[in-house]
Chains A and B, each alone.
Chain A
Amino acid sequence: MASQSGTVSPPLEHSAAQRGEAYVTPRRGLKRFAGKEWLLFLLFIAPNFFFLFLFTYWPLWKNVKLSFQRTDLLAFSGQQKYVGWANYEWLIGNSTFRYVVQNTVVFIVACVVFTLGLGLLTALLLNEKLKGRSAVRALVFAPYLLSGAAIGIVWAYIFDPRFGLLAQILGWFSIPSPHWLDRPAWALPAIIIVYVWKNLGFATVIFLAGLQSIPKDLYDAAKVDGAGPWWRFRSVTLPMLSPISFFLMVTSVLATFQAFDIQQVMTKGGPAFATTTLVYYVYEQSFGQGANFGRAAAAAIILFIAMLIVTAIQMYFSEKKVNYDA
């Protein structure tokens, strides 16, 4: 921070030492000043670092250790045994766990594809000059903020196969409603519908911000070149949106990895594990019936590494810049 010119006279009541703080030019002053500033820096970051260490980094390390131990409920009395990779091997060989991983992948891909696809369509719509579009934008975004637990319960009512909203709407077309939450084939799609409904607004708002930052003259230039609406969309809108789409994709994948409350409320991971994703599995192995801490910890580490890979991919590509615009 460059100091102002010497013409600004310091207030008279300040001591020489304090002036030394304000003017960083003298060597001695700098040294004393820096020492004090370092201390202040440490003081200011201390609370945040203390809690980050205590409840994020240290438990992550404990989790790694736990994943190599056999620790059942006896852990409370300190009974632990090192078992190497046994927990990981058990998980990989376990058909339920493989089913859970498959569910997680299906769930994430479906949620992200539908949320981004429909979010882009909604954003394109709200980017048009239509009356009331900002009110609609506010409405579309609202579900994103609402409690997943409460929303899950509302949707359990909507999915009620006899008297729910969806059953009524399907009834107009004489289509019988599936037993959404009681059938393994329907439960995961039902949860996906709720997630897309809840997160659509986030994608819409981000896409809208991206659309509004595209320079108008690009469209004008395309028009001069005789490009129709579809071609303008393909040659201007889509490429200009690519960095933001990529950002949205990665954040959505990471957020969907962590989805928990809606499943817990609507299906409790069932029926027959049909809606159990990795996070839910970690929860069940930690606190459910037949809890096994070692396996839970190993599953948590697998979840962590999967998310780390997604983040690494993002960092790799955002270094390279997804579009060619500066």
Chain B
Amino acid sequence: MPDISAHQRQIGGKFFGYLAMLLVILIIGLPLFWMLSGSLKDLKEIYTFPPQWIPHSPKWSNYEEAWTSVPFARFYLNSVIITVFGAGAQLVCGILCAYAFAFLRFPGKNWLFLGVLAALMVPPEVVILPNFLFFGNTVRDWFGLEKNWVNTYQALILPGAATAFGTFLMRQGFMQLPKDVLDAAKVDGAGHLRTMFTIVLPMAKPIVITFAMISMVNKWNDYLWPLIITRTTEMRPITVGVRLLFDAEGNNNWGVIMAGTTFVILPLLIIYLFGQRYIIAGLTAGATKG
């Protein structure tokens, strides 16, 4: 039946395509919806069967209760400090280092670059113990301090100040800039600092923004190191803080707990909403060029 086949098959294919897309939306979206809807349920609605998909009268006080039962304001402040200074440090270290490897001459510079890349092979999980011991006693010996640096902001931020990934990513981006513009700047007698700020950074803005966003998301989500290096509630970042809420509320007050997880996720969703293009572009760049 040659007449109907092509067109009908196409319509049939489209139909199954949309059906499959709906399935994907449900699988990915339902857990997130479950979190939001749960955050507005009272205990009775949580413990009903069949489930209450949309709470009858949204219980906004879950958010209040979550906010006050553990010091969320303090957790937010800590996370913001870690994110701003941590990502800021990575940006400064990464941009300077990437600029040097892209534009400055130095004997044996390729070997030094391998030294940066090799750091990618040492995951932070492997060195948590010696780094903890460093802040536990080495700094005390070095600087003759009374107290060690466990449970301090510097200990939270400094181990993540360098970046091998960012150096690699931004060096790639810098090297793809048109050579003649850079040469023209050189002829104009622009020094390297001026070239960096007036030419390289503005032109390589997308890749720098991409790295800034990836770095910020990573700092915000970091869990293992803050869990180890902070000891008191008021030094915990939000990822560890929401865990404390989970422990405090036990395995049953899900409404309040879901409100707490929403606090953690909300800033990420906002960043994602605005920077989706950059984040996806940066993460796929490494893959497709390799």
Contact = CB atoms under 8 A, between A and B. Distances in A.
- Per DSSP, chain B at the interface is helix
B105 A38 contact: yes
B127 A60 contact: yes
Given A56-B127, A147-B223, A37 B240 contact: no
Interface of A: 1-4, 8, 10-11, 14, 18-19, 21-22, 34, 37-38, 40-42, 44-45, 47-52, 54-60, 62-63, 66, 75-76, 122, 125-126, 128, 130, 132-133, 136, 138-143, 145-151, 153-158, 160, 162-163, 165, 168, 171, 197, 200-202, 205-206, 209-210, 213, 243-244, 247-248, 251, 254, 257-258, 260-261, 264-265, 279, 282-283, 286-287, 293, 296-297, 300-301, 303-304, 307-308, 311, 318
Interface residues of B, number: 106
B151 interface: no
B276 interface: yes
B158 A55 contact: yes
B61 interface: no
Does more than half of chain A's interface fall in helix, strand or loop, or is it mixed?
Answer: helix
Nearest to B276: A138
A189 B220 CA distance: 27
B121 A311 contact: yes
A143 B265 CA distance: 10
B51 A303 contact: no
B94 interface: yes
7 contacts: A55-B131, A59-B131, A130-B18, A142-B269, A148-B223, A150-B264, A205-B280
- Candidate in A145, A165, A297, A303 with the most chain B CB atoms within 10 angstroms: A145
A62 B112 contact: no
B59 to A, nearest CB: 16
A95 B188 CA distance: 69
A132 B31 CA distance: 20
A47 B99 CA distance: 13
**9 tightest Cβ-Cβ pairs between the two chains A and B:** A51-B162, A59-B130, A44-B100, A59-B127, A48-B97, A261-B223, A150-B264, A62-B130, A48-B93
Interface in B142-165: 158-164
Contact of A200 (B14, B28, B106, B192): B28
A251 B189 CA distance: 43
Contacts of A154: 31-32, 34-35, 258, 261
B257 interface: yes
Contacts of B199: none
Contact of A41 (B20, B100, B187, B265): B100
A37 B105 contact: yes
B126 A157 contact: no
A66 B223 contact: no
B34 A165 contact: yes
Contacts of A38: 104-107
Interface string B80-108: 00000000010011101101110011110
